[in-house]
A and B are shown apart, each in its own frame.
Chain A
Amino acid sequence: MPRKIRFKLNGRAVSTDVMPHETIVDMLTQHFDLTGARESCGQGLCGCCTVHVDEKPVSGCLSLAWFLDGANVRTIEGLADGDNLDPVQQAFIETGAFQCGFCTPGFIMMTKKLIEQHPKPTDDEIRHYLTGNLCRCSAYPEIIEAVKLAASRVGLRN
């Protein structure tokens, strides 16, 4: 049986009917046409499906939409403020931190959390924090530059 859930999606109050088996990725794609969080491994290993639920990064491929009632969900689509990109998005562009871009939303969502926890991250902290995100195009060196650039700007703003 479906269940109605009400939650905040990228700052907007929404509701939808979900089945018990539906993952967050399924729900975002099929009910809200949001495709930025994508499944790749389906095992919680690659990070392509990363979204924020109540400010925590979660693997949308493994988490069930059923439990989102009352939650605050943010996806890559809700990161920019209108035309103004988030500093992390901006940094990924400036450093060219992707090739195909399939992994990019997940890396960006994870980097948001990385910077909150490590405002001045070292290379090692970045490498280890982002170990759960795979980039088969292997833009890793550029991603590290992107994180450092974003962190330096966020640091300046605060």
Chain B
Amino acid sequence: MPAAPFPERERIDARDKVLGATAYAADIPLPGLLYAMMVPATTPKGRVETVAVEGAMQVRGVVRVLTAFDFPALPGPPPTPATEIAYRGQPVALVVAETLEAAIEGAEAVRATYAGQAFVPLIDSPGAARELVQPKKAGNAQAAMAGAATTIEASYVSPAQHHNPMEMLSTTAVWRDGKLTIYEGTQSASLVRANVAIALHLDPAVVEVKSAQVGGAFGQKIPLQRQTPIVALAAILIGRPVKLVLPRAQIFHNAVFRPKSRHQVALGADAGGKLTAIRYDADHQQSRKGTLEPGYHESPPRMYGVADYDGTAAHVRIDTQDPGAMRAPYPHPAQFAFESAVDELAHKLGRDPVAFRLAHQATTDPISGNPLSSCFLNDCLTEGARRFGWERRPIAQGAMVEPDGTLVGWGVAAGGYPANVSPTIATLRVSADGRTRFAVAGHEMGQGIRTVIAQLLQRELDVDPARLEIAIGDTAAAPQHTTASSRGTVSVGAAVTAAAAKMRAAMAELIGQRSIAGNIHRQLATVRRPFLQVEVSTLGPGQDAGALDRLRAGARAAAGPEYPQFTSFSYIAHFVEVRVEPSTRRVRVPRVVSIADCGRVVSPRTAASQVRGGVVWAIGAALREETEVDPRFGGWLNADLADYVVPVNADIGDIDVGFVDRPDPLFNAVGSKGLGEVAMVGAAAAIANAVFHATGTRVRKMPLRIEDLL
């Protein structure tokens, strides 16, 4: 250690996936299963006055209807049905039936009446409440700005969006022998356990949460899902397993979403063309009681080594459901704004945007004053420019025109994302019969965490990969962190390294001076030891044992990106070609080159796949995706996949992915920094910058629409 490059390997779960044999939460077969359907509130704000359930009870097959009155009283907004309605679509009742059909029919027969109240649907509606949070400042940006020779200032907008993983939100709950087991796709099994226990006044010790395979998550499945305690209580009261799969429109209205955000950016450069001052004011759409921080000042201060930074941030509270984290929650919108602004400044200075960025290598974090543990952004830019053929780019806009009138533009932008890490508690058991079981925190959401664990384990120990069981996403196996913010690989990397070292030491002690042939399983068999088991715990840099207690309790336990001695970020540079069709003005993205600095790449195959996926997300964000509020009635207008347009195969061109693949030994022993989120960051700005290069039109909002280019 630090590790040498890792080999390219197939995903360990690949075979099941192509056979259709992967079981997601809603696929678990259970005898006596009942089906549930939620009844959504049809008012955007108010109080439930009556809920008539008789009609539903008359539907053949309906077993029970639960309303707010069935749930324990809680302080604050409960995650269960409530009489106070804070947003359209909030659960008012749950109908449980022998068949799905009966549950649907029953849900339609429930009648609720409301005392409606005035509501605030949009962040620019009257009544929207602005609430400033702690600013982020370094140096004296005001003075630096006043002394700047060249300045630009502009405002940018990022829309509300929904994650829309293909797997729908679902909960299946089983109450048996005084124990509650919840099967659902979540990124936070331990958090779900803790919060269900609170909501239903249960001892967390009687609750287990299992999330073995998640059909995509992207942040949607981080918090407690609205339906979970409701379904759990139904299973407890009825004494049979209950399953609820939310219809997509209900997911739009109850899941968290990416809030709309606004970004006012001012940049100043000195007479030599050096970026010297950043002022950045951000705010975002927030529910009345939501807690998602407006944390937009994560990446911009850590990109270009600018000492003088002045950042403010605010909530704008309106009547909506709680927003939450969606892939690259802060850096994606923030870097759209910031990297567009950097492009505007480079343009005003008459500088090439790659050369301009290369002249601003960051080495320290102005916010904490500590060094960056590593920053190879310039390597990303140089390699990307080489692969893309950037030196052939004319500096003028509209200079590349095809014979049919198609305008071609090339743009660049960079991204950064905090390198986070979670403490872990893990158990490794190696058996003489050839089996290995590794139980640790982590949720498989498609990113390939099991493959990463297998890669690391096989490097460390001579275990049989064919009989390797990786127990993750299960509160019964190990305390589960929230798998998000690209901390999965880094955290399990530490756990594997520690467990393998302890296992090697235990083996050495067992075998002593003898020399025994064969792999670790054979050696155990030879010394007649059925198995060896070790338990380890790991902490992030600067963390103490309190972090392990928080991990066990399902509370926030992760650290980063500011550590006691340094600050850690992953970086990426995106190079994009756009083509703007002459008659329709439709924007296409035929070619992207993305080079990432995520430290050491542990699983090259899943890593490249993560980056391509992130770039496709950015294409969707830049050109298509927006969830629109219905200002008349509250709620969302385009709450299905027909009207919320996500990218398809036909939207995607060539995406060439590369890695710097240089380890960050300061951050951890493997030297990896995290990738899934940074992959997307900056790519939307690269598209907007390329559109400017093609057309001369600067579009400062996502999605860029045809009408913006007419």
Q: Which residues of A contact B (CB under 8 A)?
A: 19, 21, 26, 29, 33-43, 45-46, 48, 75-77, 79-80, 85, 89-90, 92-94, 96, 98-105, 108, 126-128, 130-144
Contacts and interface: CB of A to CB of B under 8 A. Distances in A.
A142 B608 CA distance: 10
B445 interface: yes
Interface of B: 10-11, 13-24, 27, 29, 100-101, 163-168, 213-216, 218, 245, 247-248, 445-448, 605-606, 609-610, 612-617, 640-642, 646-650, 652, 654-655
A102 B24 contact: yes
Given A37-B20, A137-B613, A142-B612, A26 B100 contact: yes
Given A96-B10, A144-B649, A134 B19 contact: no
A12 B17 CA distance: 23
Given A35-B27, A140-B649, 18 more contacts: A21-B101, A35-B23, A36-B19, A39-B245, A42-B247, A90-B18, A99-B216, A99-B448, A100-B216, A102-B24, A102-B446, A104-B20, A105-B18, A108-B18, A130-B648, A131-B649, A140-B616, A140-B652
B248 A41 contact: yes
B17 A131 contact: no
Given A100-B167, A102-B216, A80 B11 contact: no
Contact of B446 (A39, A41, A99): A99
Q: Which of A98, A127, A137, A142 has the most CB of B within 10 A?
A: A137
Given A131-B650, A136-B164, A140-B649, A100 B20 contact: no
Contacts of B213: 100-101
Contacts of A133: 648-649
Contact of B214 (A45, A100, A127): A100
A137 to B, nearest CB: 5
A142 B166 CA distance: 18
3 shortest A-B CB distances, which residue pairs? Answer: A36-B20, A100-B446, A99-B446
Contacts of A103: 166
B570 to A, nearest CB: 19
A42 to B, nearest CB: 7
26 contacts: A21-B101, A33-B29, A35-B27, A43-B640, A43-B641, A45-B642, A46-B641, A48-B166, A77-B20, A93-B10, A99-B445, A100-B445, A100-B446, A101-B13, A101-B17, A102-B167, A102-B215, A103-B166, A127-B650, A132-B648, A134-B646, A137-B165, A137-B613, A138-B617, A139-B609, A142-B612
A143 B612 CA distance: 12
A101 B446 contact: yes
A134 B641 contact: yes
Q: Which of B24, B215, B245, B617 has the most CB of A within 10 A?
A: B215
Contacts of A138: 612-617, 647, 652
Nearest to A21: B101
A99 B610 CA distance: 8
Given A101-B215, A138-B617, A36 B21 contact: yes
B657 to A, nearest CB: 9
A139 B608 CA distance: 10
Contact of A139 (B15, B165, B613, B642): B613
B10 A94 contact: yes
A93 B14 contact: yes
Contact of B11 (A43, A96, A102): A96
Q: Which of A92, A128, A132, A134 has the most CB of B within 10 A?
A: A134
A126 B650 CA distance: 8
B18 A104 contact: yes
Given A93-B14, A100-B214, A137 B446 contact: yes
A26 B214 CA distance: 21
A112 to B, nearest CB: 12
Contacts of B163: 136
Contacts of A36: 19-21
B647 A104 contact: no
B646 A136 contact: yes
B5 to A, nearest CB: 18
Given A21-B101, A131-B649, A76 B20 contact: yes
Nearest to B676: A99
B27 to A, nearest CB: 4
Contacts of A35: 20, 23, 27
Contacts of B13: 101
A142 B167 CA distance: 20
A34 B448 CA distance: 24
A38 B168 CA distance: 10
B101 A19 contact: yes
A143 B650 CA distance: 12
Contacts of A130: 648-649
A4 B19 CA distance: 29
